[in-house]
Amino acid sequence: MIEAGTKAPDFSLPDHDGNQVSLSDFAGQKLVLVFYPLDFSPICTDQLSLYQEVLGELETQGATMAGISVDSAYCHAAFREKLNLTMPLLADFNPKGKVCRDYGAFIEGAETSNRSLVLIEDGEVNWSYAAPNAGEIPGANLIFDALSA
């Protein structure tokens, strides 16, 4: 997992609408990247629903959130619609998992990302967390603690 103090690797990925989104689009903002394995899996559904519930509170603390998985933009669009998500979902689809790998959030063999969180400010990683296993959802409290640190 990428460590605090590291320059955040640049990226440009299609979002759920097919628009390219880059790290530079979040300049001047606190960005929480949420790496998760797959759209529509039961645990990922619970994870992103939880983050959607606290998104307004995160935004009042000056943070923006974006989800990243190896699914396609089309899959992200359907998943986002089904869950009524407002955060952008970015498709690390081609080449599969490149950004996940760059951030140390890729599970080789499973070909998906781990459940990981990364807080970026001014192009630098301020905090990161990787769940010890794919069945554990990183709680929103971890994000709030990182924002207040």
Tokens of 51: 């983050």
Q: Is the pLDDT of residue 48 over 90?
A: yes
- pLDDT-derived band at 141 (thresholds 50, 70, 90) equals very high
Mapped onto helix, strand or coil, the DSSP state of residue 58 is: helix
What is the radius of gyration, based on Cα positions, of the chain? Answer: 14
Question: Could you give the CA distance from residue 68 to residue 99 in angstroms, rounded to a whole number?
Answer: 9
48 or 149, greater pLDDT: 48
- Residue 110: predicted pLDDT: 93
75 catalytic? Reply is no
Question: Could you give the CA distance from residue 132 to residue 46 in angstroms, rounded to a whole number?
Answer: 17
- Domain boundaries 12-148, CATH class: alpha beta
- ∠46-133-82 over CA atoms, to 5°? 20
Q: Is the pLDDT of residue 134 over 90?
A: no
- Residue 37: predicted pLDDT: 97
State what percent of residues in the chain have pLDDT above 90.
98
Catalytic-role residue among 44, 68, 77, 120: 44
